[in-house]
Chains A and B, each alone.
Chain A
Amino acid sequence: NAGVTQTPKFRILKIGQSMTLQCTQDMNHNYMYWYRQDPGMGLKLIYYSVGAGITDKGEVPNGYNVSRSTTEDFPLRLELAAPSQTSVYFCASSYGGTPDTFGSGTRLTVV
């Protein structure tokens, strides 16, 4: 099994551009999450989903949007990218409420 797959691995955006970070899991997990990790910091929850069609805000949702049309996919959309969104983004999934399987991350730089 592939686990949690994130694409792309690296991306450079210009200020004001938009992009979608893709996340897919093949474990039939109900719960999926998006985190960001800034240098020297712990992870902060952006959005999460407890099942297809259900999403909710985490700690730092501003500037982001998500959707969950299928169990497998949980894309994260950045609209009007800002330098403050430069970070490493991790997608995760689990059966229950605690993330236990993480993707390898997307390193995003906004210039």
Chain B
Amino acid sequence: AQSVTQPDIHITVSEGASLELRCNYSYGATPYLFWYVQSPGQGLQLLLKYFSGDTLVQGIKGFEAEFKRSQSSFNLRKPSVHWSDAAGYFCARTMTFGNEKLTFGTGTRLTIIP
């Protein structure tokens, strides 16, 4: 079965530092990949998505993600984090375009320190 792994449960970074959150997907045909952010007490918000084409995807709030087929990864990056970026981040995948049944990773909680 398809799966999504986020190996880091919790990450702490200093404000202004760069950020990379890891996401790996199980082997198989090229999936459709997504990153969502969940602010405390809120629902999820779609940050970005990868369907095909350019492997570097730009999203909202200054985030980007790079699809690497050889590593089965879709890591999320931001060059300089802000205190407001503190949140939970979830990677998700589906195998079919427009497929409603997303598989989510368990998430990474990001803490920002001054």
Contacts and interface: CB of A to CB of B under 8 A. Distances in A.
A50 B97 CA distance: 15
Contact of A45 (B46, B97, B101): B101
Contact of B41 (A50, A56, A104): A104
Contacts of B49: 98
Contacts of A103: 43
A34 B20 CA distance: 30
A92 B94 CA distance: 16
B44 A90 contact: yes
Interface in A5-46: 31, 33, 40-45
Interface in A65-99: 90, 92, 96-99
Interface string B76-97: 0000000000000010101001
A107 to B, nearest CB: 9
Contacts, number: 65
Contacts of B31: none
Nearest to B109: A40
A70 B109 CA distance: 36
B42 A104 contact: yes
A98 B104 CA distance: 12
B106 A42 contact: yes
B41 A43 contact: no
Nearest to A31: B100
B98 A97 contact: yes
Nearest to A6: B43
Interface of B: 4, 9, 32, 34, 41-46, 49, 90, 92, 94, 97-107
24 contacts: A33-B100, A40-B9, A42-B4, A42-B90, A42-B92, A42-B103, A42-B105, A43-B104, A45-B100, A45-B102, A48-B100, A48-B101, A58-B100, A90-B44, A92-B43, A97-B99, A98-B46, A98-B102, A99-B44, A99-B100, A102-B42, A102-B45, A105-B41, A105-B43
